[in-house]
Every structure is written in C-alpha cells, then in structure tokens.
Amino acid sequence: EHAMTIARLTDAERDAALASLPGWTLREDGLAICRTFRFADFAQAFAFMTRVAIVAEKADHHPEWFNVYNRVEVTLTTHDADGLSKRDVALAREMDGFA
Ligand code: H2B
C-alpha cells in the first residue's frame, strides 16, 4: 500500500488518450501502453533514455523499458493505480517530444 493513490483512467479516458497518442498501443491486458522507439544508433537511444530518466525521476513516475542498441521498447503503467493513469499519458507525451 502506498500513501499516495492515483486514479485509474476510465475506459473512455483511456480510449481518448490512446487516440491522441499515435504510435502507442494498449497492452493486451489493458493495463499499460507500449511503444517501440528506434534511433540512429546506441548513442541516440541512450541520450533519449537519459532525458526521459530525468523527467521520470522528477515526476516520480518511471518507465519499464528494454534497450538493445538503437531500439527502446517502452511500457508505461501506474503500479499505484493497478493500470493506466494520467501520469502514463503525460510521460508518453514527454517521450514523444524527446524522440
Ligand atoms: N512509477 C510508475 N510507473 N508507477 C507507479 O505507481 C510508481 C512509479 N510509483 N514510481 C512510485 C514510483 C512510488 O512507488 C513511489 C513510492 O513514489
């Protein structure tokens, strides 16, 4: 249990968010959104991850991700909400802005 709780998106909020986030898909269980980013090389991929890490830490909202060379596979979910929250949508937009 966490001291802070965050509301889970309603189905309608989730659908609207996804419609506004081209490139992101809903995970099969409906509890997360996913996107694969591709860069020119590892340096570009890791620079992206570094920028994301700084805003993620500042927001106390952290991605699940997997990097191989120029590819970064990202999953966003809010553990404290047992699903998607507005924090995932906000972080997805920031990631899109950095990519
Ligand atoms: N990141 C994500 N993605 N979801 C969370 O629910 C979450 C987090 N909770 N980062 C934060 C940390 C929480 O565990 C701490 C205690 O604030």
What is the pTM (predicted TM-score) of this model? 0.95
Ligand 1 neighbourhood includes 29 CB (under 6 angstroms): no
With a cut of 80, say whether residue 2 has pLDDT above it. no
| Six-digit token string for 7 | 């509301």
What are the beta bridge partners of residue 57?
none
Q: Please report the atom of ligand 1 found closest to the CA of residue 78.
A: 4
3-state secondary structure of 69: coil
The verdict on the CB of residue 86 being under 6 Å from ligand 1 is no
User: Ligand 1: does its nearest atom lie under 6 Å from the Cβ of 27?
Assistant: no
Mean pLDDT value across residues 80-97: 98
Neighbours of 4 (CB within 10 A): 6
Sign of CA dihedral 50, 55, 90, 60: positive
Percent of the chain at pLDDT > 70 equals 96
Q: Residue 81 C-alpha to ligand 1 middle, in angstroms? A: 9
Tens of pLDDT, residues 38-56? 999 999 999 999 999 999 9
Residue 12 burial by Cβ neighbours in a 10 Å radius (0-12, 13-18, 19+): exposed
Amino acid letter, residue 2: H
